[in-house]
Amino acid sequence: MAIEIKKASLASGPVAKHYACTSCGSVYQSFLSCVCPSCHSGVVRQRPLTPEEAHERVSYTHFKKPIERSSSPFSNVPDINAQEEYQQSQVIIDALSFSFKIKDLQHCSKSGKYSGFRFPEAPSMSEMNNFVARTENEADELAEFRKRLVTNYLEEVLRVFIKRVLGFSFGPLRGKGFQFYEDSFALFDDSGNDYCGQVGIGGNNETVHFQISGTGCKHLFTNRSRAFVHHWLADVLGISLLARCDLAFDDFDNLHTCEASERAYYFGGFNRNHGKCPKFKNGDEFSINSDGEKVFTMEARFIGSRQSLVYWRIYNKKLEQKITKDGFYWYRSEVELKKVSVDILLDIEGHFVGLNEYAASLPSKTIEPNLIKLTAKKRVACDVLHACFWAKRQYGRLVNSLLTLYKNDFEKVVTSLIRDDTNIGFTSMHQKLINELG
């Protein structure tokens, strides 16, 4: 009888077992141990499950009751309504530009565990470290493979950062760059209809540059709070200075007009605590009709210069948008700030009114000014100037002699003086001279 049962079980064929992938966590059935069908991890990363473990994953006893579930990591954090924050602020961000090292995207994978966003894991190089290249070609191919592996990982993190953190969609590479970047692609809103800016990649010391337009800033800050954006830029990516940040105040009461800003300029309303008085330019364009009245095609005042760190534009926004409704007024006072601290995102109204007396007179409510501090940047510049001053006094003649010896070949001069423990991309001239002595 036992022999008949054994024959019947063999006739029924092999039984599929449950396996769990330790890389991605997926559970599947297979007759033999094989690679993961989801992430294609190797056989060594597959673990067979007992019938009890397989049953636990589908049994209702595996799940906790609602009252026993752990609270959300954001349950103790006060919820900030980004749209309400945007609407209540009298000052808005109309343009935003920033850059960061592409390698700093690896920090997103670390913070993603606590932020609720799922970023791809960094590739493991431990297995490749055991591979020994036998020829120069193999070494080059291995280095190229590692570089391509890391590049693909960072590009995927960048995609998740744009879509999940910033809430944008993006288009394909356009084959043309901007701001000295080799290539770029456009940013759109989540529907893909409205153009929101562009991103430059490739070159420029391996950095990524974001240039978000006014439409993009509106989409960003109506869906993400400014504190949220500040956290990801400053704390995760390590950005300390924004390349550009435009702050704007809209007047619909016909009070802060172009003529009013011109009068404020004559009374020193645009002067800052330090520096000379900024330049003034009248940008009006108009024609005279049959009644002798001015018909404006452009009404604007410009204070400062495009090259300065602070540049003001006060203009008729209604005229720019070609709105013809009678009795409607729309004047915008906009300031373009360059190389400004990323902390401006935490208090845009305070930083705005702290610029000058004219900016302080615009909001209808009392706002405590928050002065923009660039002391850290100035301290670094002073340290560099101090070091260069003493280097010139001690080694200036030696550098001049080396320039004459090497016929103004700066690369040879630098490699002759640079330390041996410094990683550089070209052969040390000092080592060449040592070799020639032998």
Which pLDDT tens digit goes with each residue over 11-24?
455 677 888 887 66
CA atoms within 13 A on the CB side of 81: 6
Cβ atoms 48, 21 nearer than 8 A: no
Please count the other Cβ atoms lying within 10 Å of the Cβ belonging to residue 31: 10
Question: Which conformational region is residue 326 in: left (phi greater than 0), alpha (psi within -120 to 50 degrees), or beta?
Answer: beta
Q: Is residue 408 helix, strand or coil?
A: coil
Residue 196 CB contacts under 8 Å (≥ 6 apart), including other chains:
168, 186, 187, 188, 189, 212, 213, 215, 216, 219, 220
Encode pLDDT of 219-254 as tens digits: 999 999 999 999 999 999 999 999 999 999 999 999
Whole-angstrom distance, CA of residue 312 vs CA of residue 264? 13
- The amino acid at 121: E
| Backbone φ, ψ for residue 51 (5° rounding) | -55, -35
Segments of 257-410 assigned E as strands? 280-282, 285-288, 294-298, 300-303, 310-316, 331-341
Delimit the domains of the chain by residue range. 2-62, 82-374, 378-437
Spell out the CATH class of 2-62: mainly beta
pLDDT mean across residues, the chain: 82
Tokens 């009298």 sit on residue: 90
pLDDT at 430 (0 to 100): 54
Dihedral angle of Cα 415, 418, 422, 424, to the nearest 10 degrees: -20
Determine the average pLDDT of the residues in 340-368. Answer: 93
CA distance 179 to 98: 12
- pTM value? 0.67
